[in-house]
Chains A and B, each alone.
Chain A
């Protein structure tokens, strides 16, 4: 599965799309596949603040619980409420309908390119 070139990535298998001072965050196809069928997400509420690499949510599959690490400092301005009834969108379209949160960031850390992330997950 190709990781979109226009996105940036974290070592915790999240993708980040930066537009102005807002970053949209999701988990990668690799992470979604590893978790299995996602059945429940617990996302931070709009208005809550995030700290770099602190846990800010949970993603549960039938088999396991994955933690969502905030990829940056900032404030959550929106979380994907459509996932409440259709968390499987994360498996089906992790880079689109399966997005998780939008963060108005205060500081942008160093992120991985698609190629660097692919190297991390052992993909060619």
Chain B
């Protein structure tokens, strides 16, 4: 199993570990609920070095990415970030990605740990058509740390030489953090304001400690358990749950990021077909009552119904909201709208759920 450059730090902080995408990752350090609340109310620090960093450079880097990603990459300006998707030719989602435009023909692409190799293979296959582009896997050159929450900016501000208010949401810049050159992105996976920091491996442990020291009582190290409940409240999809190869961006409510007007790309023909058809299933947000949460793979029914209308992909008792929340793929032809009543089968018992708008939680900005 792979370990991140911060593994020793997690061990000394008493973390519990799990295998995630082939990496030994901290699940929690103490209470995952405390970690969750810290991010909502103050700030949390995450090691997400398992994420894949791919670098695409060369005179045709933009043209190349436009041929394989669903978004219009030519519209990005230097320093801008974009949430996008890479599909296979049949329209199935290979991964969801963040693309950072670092320079004119230089892009940093962040992939999910478990899909890093699939994304690399898909890109190399496309590059073989003769694009003037080089693709590098830089995953093990970087430690990636996320500082998230309403106090993230103030804590990070103590250690950097740049004015963080100049760094807009979904942008990236070079900066010095405690004297170390890093890449600083205003992105995250929690629904809060925050930053993701790309740190050279050798310096990463000392930066991790300096961040924790600068945050003091306002900053908790947070594990993957809190990361999952935070992203779910924020209505953000997780590959393997809300996204996979059998789905296109349209079922996943991500049709808006597909740029059909940008010219040809690998999945255009199939995605155009899907966008013109009625969908069979679609991703919905659901909320329950009480404290008993329906979880991934539990079946959903119309009230009293005998036939399942779909399955939950992620479900949890929301720590912030206090009631169960879930995302589910449900039949798209049932006129389900916010307020529609449903039932979930929770290990043999039917419990009431209803459709709600996503996200479940939105931070005040």
Contact = CB atoms under 8 A, between A and B. Distances in A.
Contact of A62 (B16, B229, B292, B347): B229
Contacts of A33: 16
Contacts of A36: 16, 27-28, 32, 225
Contacts of A62: 32-33, 36, 225, 229, 316-317, 319
B295 interface: yes
Nearest to B316: A62
A51 B16 CA distance: 34
A82 B27 CA distance: 28
A63 B316 CA distance: 8
B357 interface: no
Contact of B31 (A37, A40, A42, A58): A37
Nearest to B295: A65
B48 interface: no
B292 A63 contact: no
- Interface range on chain B: under 10, 10 to 19, 20 to 34, or 35 or more? 10 to 19
A106 to B, nearest CB: 27
B293 A40 contact: yes
Given A62-B316, A65-B295, A39 B347 contact: no
Contacts of A40: 291-293, 317
Contacts of B316: 62
B33 A60 contact: no
B33 A39 contact: yes
Contacts of B228: 63
Interface residues of A, number: 13
- For the residues of B in contact with A, the DSSP-based class is mixed
Nearest to A41: B291
Interface string A36-52: 11011010000000000
A58 B349 CA distance: 13
A60 B292 contact: yes
B33 A63 contact: no
A56 B304 CA distance: 26
A8 interface: no
A29 interface: no
Residue of A40, A42, A62, A88 with most chain B CB atoms under a 10 A cut-off: A62
Nearest to B33: A37
A28 interface: no
Interface in B20-65: 27-28, 31-33, 36
A92 to B, nearest CB: 9
27 contacts: A36-B16, A36-B27, A36-B28, A36-B225, A37-B31, A37-B33, A39-B33, A39-B291, A39-B293, A39-B319, A40-B292, A40-B293, A40-B317, A42-B292, A62-B32, A62-B33, A62-B225, A62-B229, A62-B316, A62-B317, A62-B319, A63-B32, A63-B225, A63-B228, A65-B347, A88-B33, A91-B31
Interface of B: 16, 27-28, 31-33, 36, 225, 228-229, 291-293, 295, 316-317, 319, 347
Given A33-B16, A62-B319, 14 more contacts: A36-B16, A36-B27, A36-B28, A37-B28, A37-B32, A39-B291, A40-B291, A60-B317, A62-B33, A62-B36, A62-B316, A63-B225, A65-B347, A88-B33
Which are the 5 A-B pairs with shortest beta-carbon distances?
A40-B291, A37-B33, A39-B317, A37-B32, A37-B31
